[in-house]
Every structure is written in C-alpha cells, then in structure tokens.
Chain A
C-alpha cells in the first residue's frame, strides 16, 4: 500500500489544536442560557395542565439530544471496528460528544423521577390483573421496576463506553502508544453489540411505549437511522465552528467535510429506506393494531407535518446533497447540516407529540425553551470536555493517513 512509508514518520500538526480561551466563553454563555431556559421552563410548566405539555416537549428534546450523543458514540466505535484512517482528525469531537452521555443521564433522571413517566405513558398507571388483557401480556416488560433497571443499564453502558474511548484516546495523546489503538479496536466489536441493543430498547421504552399497544420490529432501526445521520451534521457544525475560531485550520480539510457530507447523504437515504419500509408494510397489511399509530399522524395538521417530514428529511436533502460540489463547498454543506438537524428534531417531535390526546397539530412554547435549555447544557458539557485536551488525537498511529487523505 502506498500509505506505508509515509505513515511511519510522526506527522507534525501545523495548526492550533487547543481550545484556549475560546472554550470558557462559549461554555459559560451556553451554561447560563441553558440553566435559565431549562429552569424557567420547568418552574413554569410543571403545574401547567398537570405538566403534560412540559413533559412532552421535554421528551422531544431529551430524545433529540440523546440521539446526537449516541450518534457520536456510534461514530467512534465504528471507526475503531473498521480500523479507519481518514477520520482520525474528526474523531476527538465525536469522542467528546459521546461523553455527554452523563449529562443525558441526569436529564433523563429528571424526566423519570420528576413525573414525566406518569404524565405521558399510559402503561405507567396500569396494573396487571385488572382486566386489561393487552397490558397483562406486556406487564413483565412494561413495569416500573424493570423499566428503572433498563434505564440505568442504558446510561451505564453509554457512560462507560464513551469514557473508555475518550480517556484511552486522550492517553494516547501523551504516550503515542499504538497498543492503545489496538486495545480500542479489540473492544469495539463488543461495544457495537452493546450499543445496538441499548439503543434499540431505549427507543422502545422512551418512544415506542408512549403508545403501549403499538409495536414495530423496525422501531429501533428507525431511531438509529436518524441518530447516526444527525451526528454527521453535528460534526460538520462543530468543526466549522472551531475552524471559524482559527482552530484545526490545517488538519481538517475540505476532504473530511466532503466525507462527512457523503455520510449525511447516505443516512438521508437510509432513514428514508427504513421509514418507508415501516410505513409501507403497515399501510399495505392494514391491520388496525398497527395502523392507528400512523392514523394519529395523519390527523388535522399532522398530515402536513408528515408530508413535510418526507420532503424535508428525504427528498430535499437527497437532491441537494447529491452533487459533489455541494458537499465540498463550506456554505452549502453547513446549510445542509443545519437543515438535517432541524429535520431530525422534527422527526423526534413527530414521534413524541401525536396521540389520542392530541388530534390536531399543536406546538408549545416549551418545545423551543427546552431545546435552548438542553442545548445550552449540551454545548456547555461538550466544550468543558474539549477544554483541556487536544482537538485531534495528536499521536494516533493513523493520523498521517487522515492528514493526507484526499477524495479523488
């Protein structure tokens, strides 16, 4: 292979790879904004209509930011599984994003312990043996104790995995020991399995069981498809932001953006493939146990939103991102990344909001304020994490490959 000889030499990074004083400024502003928005929303919303509008919005944003975090974890794991070279300069950002799992755990605990479960999930109030045959069947899975156990398990898995990959990678910045890469590669296949199972059942518990009667074997894959796609958009945005502050200007190039753009495109298509398969099969078989879930999303105003999701999450970005030119131009790629994040948020909204209690489309002010609240904390945690470390894995054995990487 052509890469051998050159990769033996230790590459020299020519650009700024430390956040320096950029970090605290962003982190503080985000923290203050986040705390005000989150605290204000909860204080105001918790008594409003029994807290229901608040908790729905909370769940939308919780599912959204958790999925960005998980997207980061997925990216890190998959790079190690495949022994990827091109992505080394991008990986530190993903490692830090994944580490936000602890923040999502706290926010999730707030939801579960603060009354979100009781407010949104019908099954939370049901007891077996009271004549609800369907719930009687599901009770061994959908009960409080088992739910708590699973919830703790998901976040424990994500926190342990994200901390492991982040810390090992940072350790390598100092020692440059290639054995650390080997260690991470060795553990990554197991991480993939844990990730796949935890993400699937997280989606089942937090989103699918909102309608406890409804079921779809595809649901976990659907949440995953949006998750992975959204992370690439986050990576594009974060790297652009850092480069705008004069960081990583040499190591991250148009080539890396181009690849991230390709991955956004790929997951635009994959998401649509999954969404279409799920919808078409349920529509075609036309069994009432399944169709009611989509029926809820075709009511007053919801139909428009469903169509918007189809156009905005698939057709628009599919056509927009198809050409090489759009992916290699900074402005167009950035616009696409922002749009895809917006559409992913709409997707979460579309999953959480509709239901028998909401026949017509309604948005609430908490949708926005909690986005700002959780988003602020999320950005704060991300920049805190990146503050004291290099923004690229400086001594990764494949750094040279990543720096030299070119799309031809």
Chain B
C-alpha cells in the first residue's frame, strides 16, 4: 500500500501495523498476466536460456552415457563394495527426494497456514518437486542390478508367486515415493489449469491454441469452475500435507529400522523431513534468485518471498542441528559402545572431512541468516543456499557411507572410493533436473497468476 519510491523492490519491512505488499510496482491484475505469459509468448527465448539448455543437455547426455555404461557393464562400474554396498546411488536418491520437499510444503502446508506469500513461488517450487522426484526415482531403478526386471519392485501378481519383501522399507519407499509423485503432479496440474486457460485464450498460433486448449481441460473461469477448483485444491492440499511428512519418514526408515550403529535412531523420521525441507528450500532459492532476474519477475517474486524462504531455511537448519546434537547426546548417553564409536568415528575417523563439510554447510553457515542484512542480500543467500545444497548431499553421504564402512566387526571394515562413473551419474542427474526446469520455464506459466492476483489489493475492491 504505502510502498514509497525509496523502498521500491524492498518489501521486507517489519511494521506490525500493516502487512507488506506481495506484488510490487504499479502492477494491476492485467500486468501480472502480461508479465508471466509474456515469458512463454516471447517467440524466441533469451540467449541465456539457450546457453542454460545447452549446458543442461550436455549434462543430460553425460547421465545418459553413464547409465548406458552401467547397464552395459554392471554395477561394478560404481565404487560400491563390501562392506559399503550403498554408495552414491542411494545418497543421490535421498538427496533428490529431499529437494523434492519444498514444493509441496509451500503449496500444501503453507496454504493450510494461510501464508499468502507462497503464491509467488509455489508454481516453480512444485515444478522442482516433480523434477527432483523424477531424478530421485532414477537411482533405485538403476541400482537393482538386473534392470530388465525392475518392474519386480512393484507387487505384481505373477505365475511364479514372486513377491517383493513387504517387510522391507525399500518396498515402502516404492509406495511412498510413487504416491508422493502422483499427488504432487495432480496438485501442480490442478493449480495450473486456470493459468493454462489464460495462456490458451491469449494464444495467437493455432498449434498453441490446441495444445494449451487440451491442457486447460475446458476451463472457462465460470463460478462453477472456480468453486470446484477451490474445493479440489483444498482437498489436494490436505492430502499432500501428510505426504510431505511421510515420504522422507519412509526414506529414513531405510536406515533407521536397521541395527547398524549410526542408522538406528528414533529421531530419524522428523529429522529427515526437516532436512528435506531445508535442502528443498535451498534449491528453490538457488534457482529463483537468477530466474527472477532473467525473466523480469522481481516485482512478483520479491525480496520478501526470498527472505521468508531464508527464514524457513534457518528454522529447518536449526531443527537439523538439534537432531545432530540429540544423536550425539544419546549416542553417548545410551552407553552402547558401538553407537558411541560410530559417532566419534564420523567426526574424527576416515571420513572426518565429509562430516565437517556437512556440519559447516548445514549448521554453521545457515546461522548467517540470523542477520537481516544477509538474508535479504542476493549474493549472500546464493552462497549460503549453494552451501546448504552441498551440505545436505554430504549429510546423506555421511549417514550412508560412514556407518556401512565401519560396523561392529573391525575385521570387516573397509573404505569407500567413488569412481568416475559415480561422479558423472551424480552430475548428470543435475542435467536432467535443469533440462526439465528450463523446459518448464519456456512452456508453462512459472508464477501462479490466478493465485497471485488473489493476494493483490485489486482483488478486494470492497476494502478500498
């Protein structure tokens, strides 16, 4: 409302007598449509987009080659060994599933908490969720060894009476991740329908009209449509909310049901969920800071949106810190020799470097966000969020590898050396992620126009 010229683009003020505006500048409802649709209606994307796409496709090709080589030669091309039977593949799986948590948290949980600022970022965050889960799903799929029978992961009736192990959390993962993917996709698509209809209505080219027309499933914006849309949205939000918690809880069960020191600890489920949200938000910030600049969306995805996300990173980072501390405390307090050893060995043993990368990136650097100056500074938040991404990858590495490499029997200990193919598969998975994200930026409205408009003063004329 009272944003003066001096505070243009800075809506991070704290004045408790009024709520800060979420859309800045002199934008009305029509300008929002123009801005967001303009990105995909531009006949030629920017050079930056082409460069990004070229790099992403190159990385995707690296992934393709790595996977092909893996299929051709076998799992031996990876660094997994005995005792470390779970290496990069599981680390990457958990990492990507974690990244896929911010979108649904923003769309579902923040929706239920009436956090209207979510509208500026929910669309792109949800897209990231879906792409991240696709990347995650790749890894267990290529880790099974005999990839030609990968469908055996699902309990399909067959004449051999062969069933997956229902008592294994790995099977629960199949259900948890596929349910999460399905519901996230539905949720994302439901939110997209009114916006796709706007794109359809503005389309000049016949193919665009037909393409977006099919995707808009007959949306005409009638009262009846809006009514049903809002009901569906609320129900999907309610369904997604427990899923945000359940997916990473089930992933944590992969480790925590075991008796292995360092894996078996009861705080794992909420700790994994907090870590997932932490890493997911870091990825959203990492991508949106450049994207809003390049796509000219600074008035829609404002500094306040970014600051709020950084606050969530600080909160969830502190929760992760709490969990690290509790694990250490109980490892000592429990008095179980192997457990105490596992934790001391993490910090001082052969993988000490991974542990300290994890602690510094996940616990120490996010503390910078206590300072408003830093959490509202674009370069500072980029650095911290990139470090958080690194730290959260290392967290999964520390959990998976350190515990496996030195368990109860010193005679069975062993070190883990990742191979080149391990690294190319990891780097290649980013290619898959970025390719999908860039395609999304090019072909779908990356800001939820209809929802953003609802938060603008123009949508509530009676109040003015």
Q: Which residues of A contact B370 (CB under 8 A)?
A: 189
Q: Is the CB of B259 within 8 A of A287?
A: yes
Q: Is the CB of B14 within 8 A of A3?
A: no
Q: How far is the CB of A107 from chain B (nearest CB, A)?
A: 27
Count chain B residues whose beta carbon lies closer than 8 angstroms to a beta carbon of A: 48
Q: Which residues of A contact B264 (CB under 8 A)?
A: 281, 285, 287
Q: Is the CB of B258 within 8 A of A398?
A: no
User: Can you name the residue of chain B whose Cβ is closest to the Cβ of A2?
Assistant: B460
Q: Is the CB of B1 within 8 A of A178?
A: no
Q: Is the CB of A138 within 8 A of B326?
A: no
Q: How far is the CA of A194 from the CA of B125 in the complex (A)?
A: 32
Task: Judge whether A273 is part of the interface by a CB distance below 8 angstroms.
Answer: yes
Task: Judge whether B257 is part of the interface by a CB distance below 8 angstroms.
Answer: yes
Q: How far is the CA of A138 from the CA of B112 in the complex (A)?
A: 44
Task: Judge whether B93 is part of the interface by a CB distance below 8 angstroms.
Answer: no
Task: Judge whether A106 is part of the interface by a CB distance below 8 angstroms.
Answer: no
Q: Which residues of B contact A397 (CB under 8 A)?
A: 16-17
Knowing A281-B257, A281-B266, say if A217 contacts B327 (CB, 8 Å). yes
Q: How far is the CA of A5 from the CA of B14 in the complex (A)?
A: 16
Q: Which residues of A contact B433 (CB under 8 A)?
A: none
Task: Judge whether A278 is part of the interface by a CB distance below 8 angstroms.
Answer: yes
Q: How far is the CA of A178 from the CA of B15 in the complex (A)?
A: 8
Q: Which residues of B contact A218 (CB under 8 A)?
A: 266-267, 270
Q: How far is the CB of B411 from chain A (nearest CB, A)?
A: 22
Q: Is the CB of B336 within 8 A of A289?
A: yes
Q: Is the CB of B270 within 8 A of A277?
A: yes
CB-contact partner of A178 in B17, B266, B336, B459, under 8 A: B17
Task: Judge whether A6 is part of the interface by a CB distance below 8 angstroms.
Answer: yes
Count chain A residues whose beta carbon lies closer than 8 angstroms to a beta carbon of B: 49
Task: Judge whether B455 is part of the interface by a CB distance below 8 angstroms.
Answer: yes
Q: How far is the CB of A271 from chain B (nearest CB, A)?
A: 12
User: Can you name the residue of chain A whose Cβ is closest to the Cβ of B115?
Assistant: A82
Q: How far is the CA of A4 from the CA of B330 in the complex (A)?
A: 49
Q: Which residues of B contact A178 (CB under 8 A)?
A: 15-17
Knowing A5-B463, A83-B16, say if A281 contacts B256 (CB, 8 Å). yes
Q: Is the CB of B333 within 8 A of A7?
A: no
Q: Is the CB of A2 within 8 A of B259?
A: no
Q: Is the CB of A200 within 8 A of B17?
A: no
Q: Which residues of A contact B464 (CB under 8 A)?
A: 5
Knowing A2-B463, A8-B18, say if A196 contacts B322 (CB, 8 Å). yes
CB-contact partner of B116 in A1, A5, A133, under 8 A: A1
Q: Is the CB of A185 within 8 A of B267?
A: no
Q: Is the CB of B270 within 8 A of A134?
A: no
Q: Which residues of B contact A200 (CB under 8 A)?
A: 322, 326
Task: Judge whether B253 is part of the interface by a CB distance below 8 angstroms.
Answer: yes
User: Can you name the residue of chain B whose Cβ is closest to the Cβ of A278?
Assistant: B266
Q: Is the CB of B330 within 8 A of A285?
A: no
Knowing A141-B333, A217-B330, A287-B259, say if A185 contacts B18 (CB, 8 Å). no
Q: Is the CB of B257 within 8 A of A134?
A: no
Task: Judge whether A221 is part of the interface by a CB distance below 8 angstroms.
Answer: yes
Q: How far is the CA of A262 from the CA of B80 in the complex (A)?
A: 47
Q: How far is the CA of A287 from the CA of B259 in the complex (A)?
A: 8
Q: Is the CB of B21 within 8 A of A1?
A: yes
Knowing A83-B16, A215-B330, A277-B249, say if A1 contacts B268 (CB, 8 Å). no
Q: Is the CB of A5 within 8 A of B326?
A: no
Q: How far is the CA of A151 from the CA of B393 in the complex (A)?
A: 38
Q: How far is the CB of A311 from chain B (nearest CB, A)?
A: 19
Task: Judge whether A216 is part of the interface by a CB distance below 8 angstroms.
Answer: yes
Q: How far is the CB of B340 from chain A (nearest CB, A)?
A: 8
CB-contact partner of B1 in A5, A219, A278, A280, under 8 A: A5
Q: Is the CB of A2 within 8 A of B457?
A: yes
Q: Is the CB of B463 within 8 A of A6?
A: yes
Task: Judge whether A368 is part of the interface by a CB distance below 8 angstroms.
Answer: no
User: Can you name the residue of chain B whose Cβ is closest to the Cβ of A181?
Assistant: B16
CB-contact partner of B267 in A8, A83, A85, A217, under 8 A: A217
User: Can you name the residue of chain B whose Cβ is closest to the Cβ of A262?
Assistant: B112
Knowing A287-B259, A289-B336, say if A221 contacts B15 (CB, 8 Å). no
Q: How far is the CA of A289 from the CA of B270 in the complex (A)?
A: 22
Q: Is the CB of A215 within 8 A of B19?
A: no
Task: Judge whether A229 is part of the interface by a CB distance below 8 angstroms.
Answer: no
Task: Judge whether A193 is part of the interface by a CB distance below 8 angstroms.
Answer: yes
Q: How far is the CB of A281 from chain B (nearest CB, A)?
A: 5
Q: How far is the CA of A397 from the CA of B116 in the complex (A)?
A: 20
Q: Which residues of B contact A360 (CB under 8 A)?
A: none
Using a CB–CB cutoff of 8 Å, the interface residues on chain A facing chain B are 1-8, 83, 85-86, 133-134, 137-138, 141, 178, 181-182, 185, 189, 193, 196-197, 200, 213, 215-221, 262, 269, 273-274, 277-278, 280-282, 284-285, 287, 289, 397-398, 401
Q: Please, could you name 28 A-B residue pairs with CB atoms under 8 Å apart, sorted by A?
A: A1-B18, A1-B116, A4-B1, A7-B17, A7-B19, A83-B14, A137-B332, A138-B333, A138-B335, A185-B14, A216-B266, A216-B267, A216-B330, A217-B326, A217-B329, A218-B266, A221-B267, A221-B270, A277-B249, A278-B266, A280-B257, A281-B257, A281-B268, A281-B269, A285-B256, A285-B264, A289-B334, A289-B336
